Amino acid sequence: MGSEALCENTLLGMGNPLLDISSVVGKEFLSKYDLKENDAILADPKKHKDLYTELVDNFNAEYIAGGSVQNALRVCQWLINKPKVTTFFGAVGRDKFADILYDKATSDGVNARYQYHENETTGTCAVLIVDHHRSLCASLGAANCFTIDHIKESANKKLIDTAKFYYISGFFLTVSPPSIIEVAKTALSHNRPFTLNLSAAFISQLYKEPLMQVLPYVDVLFGNEQEAEMFSQEQNFGTKDMKEIALKLSQLPKQNEKRTRIVVLTQGVDPVILVKDGVITEFQIQEVPPDQLIDTNGAGDAFAGGFLSQYIQGKELETCVKCGIWAARQIVQNSGCTFQGKAEFDASA
């Protein structure tokens, strides 16, 4: 199947729409707010209350449309180059940040179906760049107020019922597990692929109960090395070996026995690990030259978006992974999850 044959609403995503406030900072700034490189956390109301103000007032901050799932869908749309193949659900406030997010998502081709909350502000995420690596600190705001009512509205329920693939972030487990289960059960009843991203190490650590409730529905699982290692630790896998962890993840109990679970783990510049049917495959990464590397913010989202852009077309898994690697490579050469021009992915390269 080519991208021209894809219908509207082929892929439905659900997550937290956030406006990234991005800036290059020093390591002392991370230390001041007890943050780590290559990490993602939820802001502590006391510890991080001055972080956003300081970032805007004292640094040359950029505002970039963000949110993990929305980013992935934007990249997917860029590669497919056909509007509204993807649909997105998430919650925002009635403010200028929501307008920025909506305009960016829709101009990139995503059908953004936000749930609006009048008395909450649109969520933001501080993206702190140190030596090209990112540290994320999210203040969810309205994104945290998403309710299952939104997906039960008739127009939205129809979109869920008619989508062919589903993608949800682990981050959304902090917001509305019932909404995730509702979508997962729809995917199961129609035998359609349900995909999930582990998203951040703290999800496996602090939200393990809802994560383990959702995991049996997951047909394709994405994660990076920190997330996989934390999952292994919390579930007592007894190993730090990424291949072993990927294999064990693929073998965890599963609702839909018609398809085995695919696990895809990224490791920065180290090979991507793919597991399907007990077979482990590694895919090499071609490093971006240091003078072309801007920052790694959005690289994982871009990988997922690139992978899914091919997966929903029925392409071979090798092509899906290669496209994910290609997309991430483009994104790290830009600030945040942004891209220019036409996507020129060549599966044969």
The DSSP bridge partners found for residue 281 are: 274
Question: Rounded to an integer, what distance in angstroms lies between the CA atom of residue 80 and that of residue 86?
Answer: 10
291: annotated active-site residue: no
Question: Rounded to an integer, what distance in angstroms lies between the CA atom of residue 28 and that of residue 154?
Answer: 50
Catalytically annotated residue among 20, 219, 295, 301: 301
Euclidean distance between the first and final Cα of the chain, in Å?
Answer: 20
Strand ranges (E), the chain: 11-14, 18-24, 40-42, 62-66, 86-93, 111-117, 124-130, 133-139, 165-169, 194-197, 220-224, 262-267, 270-276, 279-283
Residues 6+ apart with CB under 8 A from 113: 87, 88, 89, 150, 156, 159
The β-bridge relationship of strands 194-197 and 86-93 is unpaired
Candidates 43, 62, 15; CA nearest to 294 is 62
The β-bridge relationship of strands 86-93 and 279-283 is unpaired
Do 156 and 89 contact (CB within 8 A), yes or no? yes
Task: Indicate the SS3 state at residue 116.
Answer: strand
Q: How long a stretch of residues is the chain?
A: 349
Active site positions, annotated: 301
